[in-house]
Amino acid sequence: MRAKRSLGQNFLVDESVVDRIVSAAGVRAGDTVVEIGPGRGALTAGLRALARNYICIEKDDALAAQLAEQFAGDDSSFVVNDDALTMMPSGLPLPGPYRVVANLPYNVGGRITMHLLENWPGQVTSATLMFQREVADRLAAVPSTKAYGALSVLVQSMAEVWPLFGVPPGAFRPVPKVQSRVVRLQPRAEPLWAGLDYERFRTVIHGGFQSRRKTLLNSLANATTLTNDVDLIRAAVAEAGLDGGDRPDHISVAGWVALTRALG
């Protein structure tokens, strides 16, 4: 079966990388593991051997059918032939919480991560995920770096992010053009924006980062999704303890939370 580019199919073939990811996932004997995009099953055998229950979500019909055949007679392993971008925990055959593991398709890695954090609250014990290196860098980025942006702030507001190790293109078939990196996400017991409206928090961050080369004040004032009352924005920036002349990518996650609270 040929790998499908549209589904980001770069299959892991390096056994030492497979072992590193399975061991980094920290699966415990009582866990229910959810693997996203198991593909040809590189990580699957190792995860099934460690977990109490194993569920995978695979969008490719043919690969899902192959795995279902492999799992026949095993009542602790399940294949869900669906899209991880929209899958909700209520659609899974067993209740959570889940230990999530994935070598994510490059094209939708960031979006699947956001879906898990936004729509699976309290259902993810930890998520050990492999991304294209640039996306992994954005997830873990600290303020005042090039990689730091809206994705960094949103993800870090809901999870602690631990970059683990890099994986070279030669570990996959077909060989991708990019480097990869494994990251561990530990969802926070409470998001840093607890008590605020998440949609508002997201709007403020996207508005603030819209013109990242401008000052924070100008960027916020230019954002069509926020108020165009500059005095109100100036007052909120001051109330949040921020400097309106600073650049958006210098503002910490706590700073964005304080700003959303002050903007009301």
> How many amino acids of this chain bind ligand SAM (CB under 6 A)?
24
Please give the Cα distance from 37 to 9 (Å, whole number). Answer: 9
Is residue 85 within the footprint of ligand SAM (CB under 6 A)? yes
For the chain, give the number of residues: 264
Contact residue for ligand SAM among 12, 47, 141, 226 (CB under 6 A): 12
Location of structure tokens 């055998």: 45
Is residue 39 within the footprint of ligand SAM (CB under 6 A)? yes
The nearer residue to ligand SAM, 112 or 204, going by C-beta atoms, is 112
Contact residue for ligand SAM among 24, 27, 46, 105 (CB under 6 A): 105
Is residue 42 within the footprint of ligand SAM (CB under 6 A)? yes
Min dist. Cβ of residue 98 to ligand SAM (A):
15
Is residue 34 within the footprint of ligand SAM (CB under 6 A)? no
Min dist. Cβ of residue 264 to ligand SAM (A):
37
Phi-psi label, residue 255: left if phi above 0, alpha if psi -120 to 50, beta otherwise: alpha
Is residue 223 within the footprint of ligand SAM (CB under 6 A)? no
Asked if residue 51 lies in contact with residue 27, where contact means CB atoms within 8 angstroms, the answer is: yes
Q: How many CA atoms lie within 13 A of 40 on its CB side?
A: 14
Give burial (CB, 10 Å; 0-12/13-18/19+) of 199: exposed
Q: Which is it for strands 32-36 and 11-12: parallel, antiparallel or unpaired?
A: unpaired
Contact residue for ligand SAM among 84, 151, 155, 216 (CB under 6 A): 84
Q: Using CB under 6 A, list all residues that contact ligand SAM.
A: 7-12, 36-40, 42-43, 57-60, 63, 83-85, 103, 105, 108
